[in-house]
Amino acid sequence: MRCYCVLHHGQPLELVDRPTPQPQGTEVLLRVQAAGVCHTDLHLWEGHYDMGGGKKLTLAERGIKPPLTLSHEIVGEVVAAGPLAPADRARVGRVALVHPWIGCGQCPACLRGEENICAKPQALGVARPGGFADYVIVPHPRYLIDIDGLDVAQAAPLACAGVTTYSALKKFGDRIVSDPVVIIGAGGLGLMAIEVLKALGGRGAIVVDLDPVKRDAALAAGALQVIDAKASDAVAQIQQATGGGARAVLDLVGATPTVTLAMGCAARGGHVVICGLMGGDLTVSLPVIPMRPLTLQGSYVGTLAELEELVALVKRTGMRAIPVTRRPMEQANAALQDLHHGRVVGRTVLVP
């Protein structure tokens, strides 16, 4: 089978011909029908995260080394199953979205159903081969979710952009109904967050981004208002738009300037959730945390149960898909480069 692999960090993906794997035990083999391109793929391709203060966390320190087959946003068709895979869930011809955020299955987090925060993650497209290939192995069919006729390229981003924003928005509780959510970053995740927020019956989104093209995309997706992150009075504009300060801020960028903006525009009692991994660091005056009082929370992708809830929500509400650009798998490199240079509106999804 063909795989588009990282053989050396920062170098173009290379086409590698490998034997098609045979599913063992409970595993299922899927023929890839759609594979989304995410910012995390860029970090994996570059080989490090920016931890701030000049420090970098290399993937090698996390036990992740080339060769890597990227993409964790996968829809595929079951073509074979191991002898221990439950036959009804692993039937050949089933087309399903894959939950990629797989853990060790044995630690306390995994036993709570929070495989996404397992200390020994086995995520597809990260620790295990992902979707930039003709075929992918999934360890158990319980990670497959029926998409029942949803378009495969539109369903694929639900596995990361979708569940990441769904899980983050859930952390705000009822605030999403009573108050607008300030969303920082109008890339694929930002547009997805606008759609998920609408499907959940939220009050609406005030979207902040540097790029006028992305702000226009946010307005087209139904944002209540958009604000230029570069404006010298961006904090004041957000405070005015939220009637005195934001009670819910979702930072999908996660860089020093965006988290600073998020904390600056938050109301007393405000709740800031950070999902983005652009990196950097922040010095915070500690009395600010109790005196304002602020909640600063991280959110990392989502659980299998949350992805199942999200797919059910999409089916129930007909939630609109984010703009998706389909490109042939052979253009994996160009698609990654376009994302790297900020040229992608919505999501790029590779198809066979």
Q: Which residues bind Zn ion (CB under 5 A)?
A: 38, 40, 103-104, 107, 110, 118, 160
Shortest Å, Cβ 179 to Zn ion? 27
Calpha distance 205→217 (Å, rounded): 13
Nearest to 219 by CA among 259, 251, 190, 248: 190
Shortest Å, Cβ 164 to Zn ion? 7
CA dihedral 107, 111, 112, 114 (to 10 degrees): 60
* Between 204 and 300, CB nearer to Zn ion: 300
CB 350 within 8 A of CB 332: yes
Calpha distance 202→303 (Å, rounded): 21
* Between 40 and 258, CB nearer to Zn ion: 40
Shortest Å, Cβ 34 to Zn ion? 14
* Between 121 and 270, CB nearer to Zn ion: 121
Supply 296's token pair: 């600063």
Shortest Å, Cβ 157 to Zn ion? 8
* Between 103 and 276, CB nearer to Zn ion: 103
Shortest Å, Cβ 122 to Zn ion? 8
Displacement of CA 26 from its chain's centroid (Å): 26
Q: What are phi and psi of 57, to 5 degrees?
A: -95, 115
Cα R_g (the chain), whole angstroms? 20
CB 279 within 8 A of CB 49: yes
* Between 129 and 180, CB nearer to Zn ion: 129
Supply 96's token pair: 């399903």
Shortest Å, Cβ 301 to Zn ion? 7
* Between 294 and 332, CB nearer to Zn ion: 332
Question: Strand pairing partners for 81?
Answer: 28
